[in-house]
Amino acid sequence: MSELSRRGFFGAIGAKVTNKEIVIRPPYAKESTLFGTECPQCSGMCGTMCEEEIIKFGDDKTPYLDFSSSGCTDCEACLEACEPGVLNDKTIFIEAKVKINATKCMSWENVMCFSCKEPCLDDAIIFEGLFRPEISAEKCTACGFCIGRCPTGAIEIVA
78, 82, 88, 89: CA torsion to nearest 10: 0
Can you list the domains of the chain with their CATH numbers? Answer: 23-81 (3.30.70), 96-159 (3.30.70.20)
94-140 tens-digit pLDDT = 999 999 999 999 999 999 999 999 999 999 999 988 899 999 999 99
Q: How many Å apart are CA 10 and CA 114, to the nearest integer?
A: 11
Q: How many Å apart are CA 77 and CA 75, to the nearest integer?
A: 6
The pLDDT, as a whole number, for residue 31 is 83
29-85 tens-digit pLDDT = 988 889 999 999 999 999 999 999 999 999 999 999 999 999 999 999 999 999 999
Number of neighbouring beta carbons within 10 Å of residue 60:
10
Q: Report the predicted TM-score, pTM, of the whole model to 2 decimal places.
A: 0.81
Measured in whole angstroms, how far is the alpha carbon of residue 60 from the centre of its chain?
21
Statement: residue 4 has pLDDT above 80: no
